[in-house]
Amino acid sequence: MLEPGVIEHRQGRFGRWLRERRLAIAVWIAVRFPGFAPQSLTARLVVAVGVGQLLAFIPIDAGSYVTLYGSLFGLVLPALTLAWLGAFWLLQSVRNAMPS
């Protein structure tokens, strides 16, 4: 049996790993496929707000490890990656709107 501190440490390490990977995936997509970004600021805002609403409705099934990791990697990771993409696209819109 694992001690509670060990379990919390492992959960923190997994959360940090997941955060780093989704950020790396989002930056890779934004840099590798710049034409994938919406052209208008309105569309970029809709993506950002839409992802926020999508995250509220994602079911996380913790019945077993298989369903837990399936829902994390199948639903949560893509949605959070899209959230980072939306944030990146909004920052690009701000950068493009600023005078040189």
pLDDT tens digits along 51-69? 989 888 888 877 888 888 8
pLDDT tens digits along 16-58? 887 888 889 999 999 999 898 998 889 999 998 999 898 888 8
pLDDT tens digits along 66-79? 888 888 888 888 99
Check whether 2 has a pLDDT greater than 80. no
The pLDDT of residue 11 is 61
- Rounded to 5 degrees, what angle do the CA atoms 66, 28, 98 make? 130
* Structural domain spans, the chain: 4-97
Confidence class for position 7, pLDDT limits 50, 70, 90: very low
